[in-house]
Copies of this chain bind each other. A is one copy, B any other.
Amino acid sequence: MIIRLAKNSGFCFGVKRAIHLALTAAEGNNSIVTLGPLIHNPQMVEKLKEKGIEVIESPDEIGKRKAIIRSHGIPLSEKEFLEEAGHILIDATCPYVAKLQQIGRQLSEEGYPVLILGNSEHPEVIALRSYIMGTAYVVSEAKDFANHGGEKIGVISQTTQSIEKLRELVILLPERYKEVRVFNTICNATEIRQESTRMLAQDSDIMIVIGGKNSSNTKMLARISSEYAETHHIEIPEEINQEWLKNHERIGITAGASTPDWLIIEIYNRIIELVGEKNLAKNVEDIPVYKEDNNVN
């Protein structure tokens, strides 16, 4: 029996930064609010609540409190409304997402219709769309972008999409548009995490993918993983079914960008218990990591 964690998994730079900004703002018993969940991990959001960081859904609920703009960003109109209303805002928009918003705005200012590869209901995409002044299309699959063509088009991507999906979309465009301007706005950490998951899944019998059920990047990891191994996407240790682990020699674990280390440790330890082993982990560093180097050409 081998249990291994993907080399690159868990918190990304943008999530760490957002949590750090929130915790700093909440120091000294300052009650603060986030507009929508700060990150897409319900367990972590619950922990933050214990530190006085409350999730609200509407700006009306802010009151006199400081408000944090979450890592996915918020629509421009909402931001402007809050600023005009005199609220103190702490902008925890991931810098990669902010860059994406800026590219979207620039493309539309330069007259490009903008094609977004992403999930139209995801907060990152909803916020992004608000930065595009002209035509915008949102598609989650290349096949959804049929019957469009014209002089020029700009292409950007939700930061957590897969490079394969971007390629599938881009390949359709040169014969339909005279000019195709693609910005690969998939965040590097996303690409690296996806690649680590892919490599581990190729060398595993079963994969446990940890992260919010509403987390795009975690769902993408599960999708990639399922191409190579039996895959289960879970949020908490209690979801693990002992039956999954039977008759499997190689168990792989990976985690989305908004999954905290303590949750990875809890889930690892739950697996250890269920398979009857004893070497529990105290820190994430205690968990064996899948060595990618042997497999890289």
Task: State A181–B175 Cα separation when bound (angstroms).
Answer: 14
A291 at the interface (CB under 8 A from B): no
Task: State A170–B167 Cα separation when bound (angstroms).
Answer: 9
* Closest-CB distance, A48 to chain B (whole angstroms): 32
- Stoichiometry, as copies per complex, reads 2
A175:B184 contact, CB within 8 angstroms: yes
CB < 8 Å: which of B166, B174, B179, B191 contacts A167? Answer: B174
A174:B182 contact, CB within 8 angstroms: yes
Q: Which residue of B lies closest to A176 (CB)?
A: B184
CB < 8 Å: which of B170, B178, B179, B181 contacts A179? Answer: B181
Across the interface, which residues of B come within 8 angstroms of A191, CB to CB? 175
A45 at the interface (CB under 8 A from B): no
CB < 8 Å: which of B170, B174, B179 contacts A174? Answer: B170
B179:A182 contact, CB within 8 angstroms: yes
Interface positions, chain A 114-172, Cβ under 8 Å from B, are: 163, 166-167, 170-171
B181:A171 contact, CB within 8 angstroms: no
A178:B183 contact, CB within 8 angstroms: yes
CB < 8 Å: which of B171, B178, B184 contacts A171? Answer: B171
* Closest-CB distance, A146 to chain B (whole angstroms): 13
A180 at the interface (CB under 8 A from B): yes
Across the interface, which residues of B come within 8 angstroms of A178, CB to CB? 183-184
CB < 8 Å: which of B167, B180, B184 contacts A177? Answer: B184
* Closest-CB distance, A109 to chain B (whole angstroms): 15
